[in-house]
Structures are given as structure tokens and as C-alpha cells.
Amino acid sequence: MGQYIQVNDKVKIYVEDIGEGTPVLFIHGWPLDHTMFEYQFMQLPRQGYRCIGIDLRGFGRSDSPWEGYSYNQLADDIRVVIDELKLDNVVLAGFSLGGAVAIRYMSRHEGQGIAKLLLMGAAAPSFIQRNNFPFGAPEEQIEKLMLATLADRPQMVTDFSKIFTDKGGSASFEDWLHQHAVGASAQGTLRALESLRDEDLRGDLASIRVPTAIFHGEKDQICSFELAKLTNRGIANSRLVVFEESGHAMLFDEPDKFSEELTGFLADHSVSRSTNASDLPTMIYPSV
């Protein structure tokens, strides 16, 4: 069932809500929408889960204002949805940009209503390289994406899609992916890129206290695998799950493993902290 929820600045956010049981709230990546999780929406309700997908402002069926694409605002939109639907004991699952926004939600709203956190290919703790943080993408890379968005957005989407997965897919899958990415608003596509460039989550990680799983493709060309290790190190009670044959979108590159790991995490009550990132430097914490 789909519905629109009006958030505090009069923007309407589209929410898809299917199934009954433990709620799993999915936040999509840039520049897609909630339909990227359509296979999970077909599988999980059969297993007793309620799947809720948000289209972030500027994407999918949600309104597309010019302003309001900061992580704070996107996290506030999620809070309104959670409050409006009276959700509790939620598994918050964010992919890429959605993973970054999920982290900010946990920090800014003190994890209100959230029992577990799932980060998938998350753009965290910082999408770009910064002082004392050489692990993200060069800032020039995102500047090129922004220029390409202004010059020829459909071609930018085509080029970006080539590194979205490692294995690629059928021509029909590529068309489907392109259709949804181009379907995002131009302003949402551009302004969310600005947030990816400007936002820094290094100071948010320590505030997360719920069991957390970090799914990340070892061949990720968008959010490097080093970012997953750093995020794992920064979040207590987190576990890093490596997708060795995946690029950025492990749910498409290794769908069977993704499904197995996802359902295992949803049912697991003993998620423990991984120590496989212990050799990484400590100079990046705290943030500034």
C-alpha cells in the first residue's frame, strides 16, 4: 500500500508499506528510489516482515523541492514517517546515500524507534577524502558528477550505472536501472550530490548503540571497501559482512547471499562486533 506523508516543511514523502510483522524500513541510494528493493518487498512479507520503503525527497514519487537535501533534513523526514506510522522495534536499512542518512538519523534522533541498523554499501563515514581522511573518493570525482548532471543527466546516469554493479546484468536490467535513476528529479540528483560532498559522519558513529550489520562489496568502485572497515570500527556492536564478488550493489551482484545474510540478520538476536578493522589508524576520530 502506498501513501504520502507530509513532513514538517510541507513536502510530501511517498511511502510504500507492504506486509505485517517486524517493520524493516528501507532507504534507497542515489539516484534511485524505494523500488530498488522490489525483490526484498516480494520475499520478506512471506517471512513475517513488514517492508516499508521511503522515496527520499527529490526521488521517486516524493516531492522535489529545491532546498532540504542535507543529511539533517533527510533524517528529519524519516523521523516524521516513523512517528506518523507509529513504528517501533524497526530494522533501519540504508543503502549508499541511504546508509549515510540512516547513520545521521541514529545520531540526530537518538535511534528513536530503531532496534537494529543495516548499512549496505554506505557512503560513510565520509564519501569524499578530507584532511586526515584519505579513504573516500577524491572531491574532483563528485564535482565531475555534478558537472555531468548539469550537462547531460541521462548520459551521467548511464556512465554511473556501469560501475554500480560488478557483474552487470541483462539489457533489461540495465534499462530498468536507468529508467528509475533518470526518473529522479534533476534538483534532487544535484543537491543530494552536494550533500554527499559536504557531509561528514565521523562524529556520528559513536552514538549508534543498536546491533548493526554492515554489508559491503569488496569490489565496490563507488564507496570503497575501506569505508566499510572504518564504519565497522566506529560503530560498537557492529559486524562487517563482506561480499567478495560484489561491486557497490551487492543485492544485485550476489542476490542469494544477500538474501541469506539479510534474513539471518533480521532474525539474529546476538549480533556482535567484528574486529577485522582493528589495524586501521585512529587519527580520523573524532571528526574535525
Count of residues for the chain? 288
Contact by Cβ (8 Å): 196, 127 = yes
Q: Give the CA count within 13 Å in the CB-facing half-sphere of 43.
A: 12
- β-pair partners for 114: 90
Q: Using alpha carbons, select from 20, 23, 40 the residue that is nearest to residue 81.
A: 23
- Judge whether 246 counts as a catalytic residue: no
The active-site residue, picked from 28, 64, 77, 96, is: 96
Backbone φ/ψ region at 24: left (φ over 0), alpha (ψ -120 to 50), beta: beta
Closest CA to 32 of 104, 120, 95: 95
* Contact present, 143 and 196 (Cβ < 8 Å): no
C-alpha cell at 251: 543485492
| 96 catalytic residue (yes or no) | yes
Catalytic annotation present for 220 = yes
Q: Kindly state the greatest CA–CA separation across the chain.
A: 49
Helices vs strands, H then E, count in the chain: 9, 8
DSSP 66: S
The residue from 33, 77, 166, 220 that is catalytic is: 220
Q: Which of 100, 93, 134, 132 is nearest to 116 (CA)?
A: 93
Active site residues: 96, 220, 248
